[in-house]
Amino acid sequence: MASGTSALNSQQIAAILDDVALELEDMPEVAAEWPTWSENSQCSYALDWDKLMRELKLVVEAYRFGRMTPDQQAQYQELLGKLKEALPLIRKLNLTHPPGDLFAAA
């Protein structure tokens, strides 16, 4: 989707917020099934998650610079809480942690 330090447009921000929310919603099920997944499936999921966390870093930047709609700001704040709740599962699955400055940006 977005790469480098390019600014995201509103549609990209919305898509990333939605993607992260969906992944977090599925994470308890993923964690429960993780031991039964093949190594390739685990690696694929981890790579997809890593890409999503890189994109989320650009969303943090958009938030900091006021490039979000009020609805996106509210969704972002809600997402922060869900990410904090998911940290134990993220660690358990040895996935890339959310951007280090994510919680400081709120």
Query: For the range 48-56, what are the long-range contacts, defined as Cβ-Cβ under 8 Å and sequence gap of 24 or more?
Result: 49/23, 49/95, 49/96, 50/95, 50/96, 52/16, 52/19, 52/20, 52/23, 53/96, 53/97, 53/98, 53/99, 55/1, 55/2, 55/16, 55/19, 56/16, 56/20, 56/98, 56/99, 56/102
Q: What is the pTM of this model?
A: 0.85
Write the pLDDT tens digit of every residue in 2-48.
444 468 999 999 999 999 999 999 999 999 999 999 999 999 999 99
pLDDT at 49 over 70: yes
For the chain, which residues make up each domain, given as ranges? Answer: 10-92
